[in-house]
Amino acid sequence: MLQKLETWALQFGGKAFDFLIRAAGAILIFWLVGKILRKFCSFLERRMAKHNVDASIRSFVCSLIRYGILSLTLVEIIIQLHIVEATSIAALLASAGVGISLAMQGTLANFAGGLLLLVVRPFRAGDYIQVPAVSAEGTVRKIEMYYTTLETVYNEIVMIPNSTLTNNRVTNVTALGRRKIEIRVSVSYAADVEKARQEILRILDQDERIEKEERKVFVAELGESAVILGVWCFVKASDYLPVKWALNEEIHAGFAGEGIEIPYNQLVVHMAEKPEKA
């Protein structure tokens, strides 16, 4: 009995030691492959940048190469460690193809969406886009295999699935290199509307960042408490927010200097007198 236990222990110990050696070697190989891939992708990205390849394409290609090779390496390690036999993997994939397809439907849709974004190219890295479906907007930083990364004006990173971008409306506000600023200003009914219009035009003339053509100041609406003036002008995409903020401040200061009232919401109440009884 003791001899059988000793024989079993030696056999089990030998197999366990052999498995640990092969597992350690596999981990080392996986780590080396990952490190080599990082260096190769950095080299490849520099080469593509040197040939003026778009940043979104560079990011997508590098992520595709890196994760594709790492996935194949992981499968090969599993086979070599005899965790799962190669025939078993093939049979499993063949029998569970439908289930895997359904389970990975979202992932495959995101991958296909990434390819479609690179082919159609509705936006590129550096463009400012708006995605109403997910209430997100920002500057495109990366287009990867499954996600597109945006950086908002609040320095937040937003990652949007590629399928969301291909299946919903996306507005590229910087595609033409300029953006329209639209401001609405309330003016009292007692104020001189033409005087307010000329004051706004004077403010627009003073800012060299604003294009001289296609400037409009008009009565947009007759509100309940004020006349609403609309202001339209165009600037470079990079100047949009600074100019808009500056215009709001300068219009307020200009109206205050010219005595043009920006009214609060008002409600006029008429009191009906009750007739006296005879």
Q: What is the pLDDT of residues 21-37, one digit of tens each?
A: 777 777 888 888 888 88
Do the beta carbons of residue 186 and residue 263 sit within 8 Å? yes
Of 11-20, 26-35, 189-198, the one with minimum mean pLDDT is: 11-20
Q: Which residues contact 111 (CB under 8 A, 6 or more apart)?
A: 145, 146, 162
pTM: 0.58
Confidence at 272, pLDDT banded by 50, 70, 90: confident
Confidence at 232, pLDDT banded by 50, 70, 90: very high
Q: What is the pLDDT of residues 51-95, one digit of tens each?
A: 777 776 777 778 778 878 887 787 777 767 666 565 665 666 566
As given in the structure block, the two tokens for residue 122 are 């509705």
Do the beta carbons of residue 130 and residue 173 sit within 8 Å? yes
Confidence at 146, pLDDT banded by 50, 70, 90: confident
How far, in Å, CA of 227 to CA of 265, rounded? 11
Q: Bigger pLDDT: 237 or 105? A: 237
In the chain, % of residues over pLDDT 70 = 80
Do the beta carbons of residue 176 and residue 137 sit within 8 Å? no
Dihedral angle of Cα 222, 224, 226, 231, to the nearest 10 degrees: -50
Confidence at 98, pLDDT banded by 50, 70, 90: low
Do the beta carbons of residue 38 and residue 44 sit within 8 Å? no
Domain residue extents for the chain: 11-87, 110-172, 178-258
Fold designation for 110-172: SH3 type barrels. (2.30.30)
Nearest residue to 55 (alpha-carbon basis) of 2, 105, 124, 9 = 124
Please report where in the chains the tokens 């890196």 appear, as a residue. 66
Confidence at 247, pLDDT banded by 50, 70, 90: very high
Residue 195: Cβ-neighbour burial (10 angstroms; 0-12, 13-18, 19+): middle
Of 47-51, 80-84, 110-114, the one with minimum mean pLDDT is: 80-84
Please indicate whether the domains covering 110-172 and 178-258 agree at the CATH topology level: no
Alpha carbon 177 to its chain centroid, in Å, reads 19
Nearest residue to 234 (alpha-carbon basis) of 174, 163, 191 = 174
3-class DSSP state of 192: coil
Please report where in the chains the tokens 């470079």 appear, as a residue. 236
Residue 101 has pLDDT above 80, yes or no: no
For the domain made up of 178-258, the CATH class stated in words is: alpha beta
Enclosing H/E stretch for 81? none
Contacts 24+ apart (CB under 8 A), 110-113: 110/145, 110/146, 110/147, 110/161, 110/162, 110/163, 111/145, 111/146, 111/162, 112/162, 112/163, 112/166, 113/161, 113/162, 113/163, 113/164, 113/165, 113/166, 113/167
- The overall average pLDDT reported for the chain is 81
Average pLDDT over residues 241-263: 92
